[in-house]
Amino acid sequence: MGDRGTYDVVARKVRLLLERFRSRPVGARVTLTAGTTEVEAIHAHLRGELGFHEVGYAPVTAAAGAAHALSEAELTAIYAAFEHLGEQYLAAALAGHNTGFSNLHQLMTDLHEGRRKSLPCGAGVGLLAVDRNGALNLCHRFTGSKLPTFGDVDTGIDGVQLGQFLGRAADRSGTHCATCRIRNLCAGGCYHESWLRYGDPHHRTYHYCDLLRRWVDFGIRIYSEIVARNPRFLNAHIEPRRAVA
């Protein structure tokens, strides 16, 4: 908008959306880049002030050394903030309320449903991304990249090539994932993160392993406490969420 900031305009439109759109919950997704670690303040604003039903946070995928990449110290600070928000989530859940912390709420959903992932995400399974030339990319993050595409809008999906890609992604042989205790919740990590870090979308995101194991272990503790102390929360907030997803 020329030399003016866009925040006030976007915030006003968001409030209008949340006031008028009632057919299903509206969530927000936050990409955390270098210098942005104040997760709790962001959550208080987006959930508490603007009124999003859920807010989820994704550390940016970036090549090592990129200007917008998070440092190791920043990642540690973000995960510490996640755990603090998680303790707030637990306290609210025991009282029958949902704080809208999507990262933990999704983990609660996965644990409650007994989900076993063979693939890390829905890229190539539940979604493909169309670029400006009509080519079908693995996901929105790969548009404009050199990763081969999987068909186009004119000829359709290249099922053979896509099937081979997904088959390789699901194969854990020869990787640390084969014996990792969280393999069925992580399934190897983000394809795009691996592409940027290692030049191979199938390379496991080993640089995140310790943090992810810590996060899942934390989530299992939170889930166990909810099951033991207020299982009605799961019926009221987890099962209806899946019904509208």
94-151 pLDDT per residue, tens = 999 999 999 999 999 999 999 999 999 999 999 999 999 999 999 999 999 999 999 9
Gyration radius of the chain over CA positions: 19
Residue type, 32: L
pLDDT band, residue 65 (cuts 50/70/90): confident
For the cut 60, the answer to whether the pLDDT of residue 90 exceeds it is yes
Q: Which residues, listed in sequence order, are joined to residue 156 by a DSSP beta bridge? A: 152
Mean pLDDT computed over every residue of the chain:
93
Alpha helices in 101-238 (DSSP H): 102-113, 159-170, 183-186, 191-198, 209-229, 232-233
pLDDT of 69 reads: 87
pLDDT of 63 reads: 76
pLDDT of 119 reads: 96
| CB distance 223 to 237 below 8 Å | no
pLDDT band, residue 28 (cuts 50/70/90): very high
pLDDT band, residue 239 (cuts 50/70/90): low
86-91 long-range contacts (CB < 8 A, ≥24 apart) are 86/218, 86/219, 86/222, 89/222, 90/222, 90/225, 90/226
pLDDT band, residue 61 (cuts 50/70/90): confident
| CB distance 90 to 226 below 8 Å | yes
Domain map (residue ranges) of the chain: 7-114+210-244, 129-208
Q: Indicate the burial class of 131 (C-beta count within 10 angstroms; 0-12, 13-18, 19 or more).
A: middle
pLDDT band, residue 66 (cuts 50/70/90): confident
Measured CA to CA in angstroms, residue 5 lies from 11, 35, 36, 113 at distances of: 11, 19, 18, 43
pLDDT of 88 reads: 98
pLDDT band, residue 3 (cuts 50/70/90): confident
pLDDT of 242 reads: 52
Of 214, 73, 61, the closest CA to residue 145 belongs to 61
Which has more confidence, 208 or 244?
Answer: 208
